[in-house]
Amino acid sequence: MLATASTANVDFVRSLGAETVIDYTTTPFEEVVRDVDLVLDAVGGGTLLRSMKLVKRGGTLISIYEQPSVELAERLGIRASMNQTIPNSEHLCKIVQLIDEGHARPTVRRVFALHEAQLAHELCETGHGRGRIVLHIAD
Ligand SMILES: NC(=O)c1ccc[n+]([C@@H]2O[C@H](COP(=O)([O-])OP(=O)(O)OC[C@H]3O[C@@H](n4cnc5c(N)ncnc54)[C@H](OP(=O)(O)O)[C@@H]3O)[C@@H](O)[C@H]2O)c1
């Protein structure tokens, strides 16, 4: 499995299990990657377009950011779609169970109190960082 990250997060992403981590601030990923079976895109824009060209014919790209170009996907002979998760209480309870049982280990970046919701949003909108941002609503 390959992953991309900025310099400060390379070791962290490797510790999560990526065999190869490409520092996207110093190395265009096309120099390291080609003909992959599956891309998971969380960035969109130009990064998504570049990523589509690295998927081998018959492979798949899934973006959680935006709908990939259908025309480009057809031309490249790949499947490309956007996946949108709409959480419900059943899903959230299942995630809590996976964490409690030690199957999932979330990394928490920062916890904000409810009255700091604006700060939480501003941090979220930077598009960079390590781990989840938590809004503490109730004990
Ligand atoms: N469709 C859905 O259901 C769904 C669900 C959750 C999130 N999303 C969306 O998916 C996006 C990512 O969510 P997130 O919670 O993971 O955001 P996040 O915590 O802000 O993380 C964004 C990640 O993208 C990396 N990144 C930024 N620019 C990059 C680039 N040019 N090339 C490669 N990596 C780059 C950052 O790495 P560095 O910090 O190392 O720069 C960071 O790890 C957001 O736009 C969010 O709204 C969609």
Q: What is the CATH number of the domain that holds 53?
A: 3.40.50.720
- Asked if residue 60 and residue 126 are part of one domain, the reply reads no
Per-residue model confidence as pLDDT tens digits over 77-87: 999 999 999 99
Say if residues 14 and 135 touch (Cβ distance below 8 Å): no
Task: Enumerate residue ranges in the chain where pLDDT < 50.
Answer: none
Provide the phi-psi class of 111: left if phi over 0, else alpha when psi is between -120 and 50, else beta: beta
Same domain assignment for residues 63 and 97: no
On whether both 29 and 53 belong to a single domain, the answer is: yes
For 101-127, write each residue's pLDDT tens digit: 999 999 999 999 999 999 999 999 998
Distance (angstroms) between ligand 1 centre and the Cα of 124 equals: 9
Say yes or no: 57 and 117 in one domain: no
Instruction: Say whether both 75 and 122 belong to one domain.
Output: no
Distances in Å between the alpha carbon of 51 and those of 37, 58, 79, 119, 126?
Answer: 12, 15, 13, 32, 22
Choose among 42, 46, 49: nearest CA to 128: 42
Q: What is residue 43's predicted lDDT score, i.e. its pLDDT?
A: 95
Beta-strand relationship, 108-113 and 132-136: parallel
Q: What total of structural domains would you count in the chain?
A: 2
Pocket test for ligand 1, best of 64, 108, 109 (most atoms within 8 A of CB): 64
For residue 87, report the distance from its CA to the centre of ligand 1, in Å: 18
At residue 127, the pLDDT reads 87
| Share of residues in the chain with pLDDT > 90 (%) | 94
